[in-house]
């Protein structure tokens, strides 16, 4: 069972990743999803949906 330290690290890593992605912008945001799609961890359509959301957020600033 995961304790509070684990979930704190997960939240911190997620926030750090989102801030880094935001700082870099939406340029070439498809390639980072390739390993997840290749490993069948995420479907192609779900990845395309997420890429679209991230691109829209990056271009709205």
Domain spans of the chain? Answer: 32-60
CA–CA separation, 57 vs 22, rounded Å?
Answer: 8
Q: Is the pLDDT of residue 24 over 80?
A: no
**DSSP 8-state code for residue 1:** -
CA–CA separation, 35 vs 40, rounded Å?
Answer: 9
The pLDDT, as a whole number, for residue 38 is 87
Kindly give the residue spans of alpha helices, DSSP state H, lying in 25-60: 34-38, 44-59
* pLDDT-derived band at 58, boundaries 50, 70, 90: confident
The pLDDT, as a whole number, for residue 33 is 83
Give the total residue count for the chain: 61
Cβ proximity of 26 and 55 under 8 Å = yes
């Amino acid at each position: 069972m995961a304790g509070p330290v684990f979930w704190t690290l997960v939240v911190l890593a997620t926030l750090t990743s989102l801030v880094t992605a935001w700082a870099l912008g939406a340029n070439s945001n498809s390639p980072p999803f390739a390993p997840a799609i290749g490993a069948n961890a995420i479907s192609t359509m779900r990845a395309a949906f997420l890429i679209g959301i991230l691109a829209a957020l990056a271009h709205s600033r």
